[in-house]
Amino acid sequence: MSTPRTAPVARPRRLAAAAVVLAVVAAVLTACGNSGPRDLLNSIRSGSVVLGTKFDQPGLGLQNPGGAITGFDATVSTYVVNRLADEMGVPHPTITWKETPSAQRETFIRNGEVDTIAATYSITTNRMKDVDFAGPYFVTYQGLLVRDDAKNINSLSDLNGKKLCSVAGSTPAQNVKNLLPDVQLQEYDSYSSCVEALRRDKVDAMTTDEVILAGYAKRWPGEFRLVPMTYPSDVCVKDAWKTAGTPFSTEYYGIGMAKEFPNAVAQVNDALTAMLQVPAGQQYSPWEQSLRDQLGDETVDDMIARADAPGSKYVFTPKPGDLSFLEAPKTPCPEGAE
């Protein structure tokens, strides 16, 4: 018969040591913000918020050498939290910016490391399984950036066999994998490393949202050319009919937030709607003014002209709170079409 095992008797000193270890683990988890999703409204009330954005995207979210964060995404986030604070009658909160790379955004929100993320973050059904979105607060389209001397890439149909870079965890990279299987896609961690690969001739083109590409083109004048990514002729793509000139993909930017606090999402939508209103006596809404300040009048005027053209397939003014684009029906392909 084997001797029955007895549970070891915990000695007081061991118990004390275990308690210390537990306390340290809890402190580390809290320091990492790993304490569950954050409620933006609570954070504003408590006086400090953690806002996620990109740190390397000129015009959108950029960390300047002194550490300050500038860009349209940063301005939109700041407007929203300050307006909500005004409505609650509390002081504007202290903002801590957190860099939120494309592939880590859902995790940062779910783990409570940020209150919100405005980081060129497209609203998608897939992401909405994990997080919620206020918005859309901006609409852009997938495009291509090539070196100015590269004459061989002028449309979507010139990409077969080419080396294209994009970023892991981004919708443009996913779109290329789904719809352009003959392209050699290289996925980087950030757009700044992707654009560096393009500058050094390591890839033929870079793909992501046009507004991001425009920021890099402006950062290095004369080095790059923007190529629109529209279907050059009518085509049937995975059972959906795309007429010539249809954008390859439309990206609706949202402010990513925890799913647990729908009231906060509704209030952010109200703040975004307010940002889109033109105040009496002003030429532009704070939203358009920020776009103009960050992207330049020429870029914004081009976007407006494109959206206003007769029969345009482009949008300029977003409608916060309207997510109907997620359910937009596909146009079926005509019989026999390829």
Smaller CB distance to ligand GLU: residue 41 or 144? 144
The residue type of 251 is E
Tell whether residue 187 is a contact of ligand GLU (CB under 6 A).
no
Tell whether residue 172 is a contact of ligand GLU (CB under 6 A).
yes
Tell whether residue 171 is a contact of ligand GLU (CB under 6 A).
yes
The encoded tokens of residue 42 equal: 């609570």
Residues 29-39 as b/e (b if ≥16 CB within 10 A, e otherwise) read: eeeebeeebbb
The answer to whether the CB of 232 falls within 8 A of the CB of 160 is no
Binding mask 229-268 for ligand GLU (x = CB under 6 A): ----------------------x-----------------
CA distances from 37 to 50, 112, 130 (A): 12, 4, 11
Residue with token string 């901006």? 138
The answer to whether the CB of 222 falls within 8 A of the CB of 148 is yes
Partners of residue 111 on adjacent β-strands: none
The encoded tokens of residue 121 equal: 């973050």
Stretch that binds ligand GLU, among 26-34, 63-71, 169-177, 230-238 (CB under 6 A): 169-177
Q: How far is the CB of 218 from ligand GLU (least distance, A)?
A: 17
Q: How far apart are CA 235 and CA 90, in angstroms?
A: 55
Smaller CB distance to ligand GLU: residue 116 or 208? 208
The residue nearest ligand GLU at its CB is 170
Smaller CB distance to ligand GLU: residue 122 or 230? 122
- Residues 6 or more apart whose CB falls under 8 angstroms from that of 45 comprise 88, 90
Smaller CB distance to ligand GLU: residue 85 or 131? 131
Tell whether residue 122 is a contact of ligand GLU (CB under 6 A).
yes
Tell whether residue 167 is a contact of ligand GLU (CB under 6 A).
yes
Residue with token string 């977003």? 318
Stretch that binds ligand GLU, among 21-29, 40-48, 78-86, 165-173 (CB under 6 A): 165-173
Using CB under 6 A as the binding rule, the residues of this chain from 88 to 107 that contact ligand GLU are 102
Binding positions for ligand GLU, rule: CB under 6 A: 102, 119-122, 167, 170-172, 208-209, 251
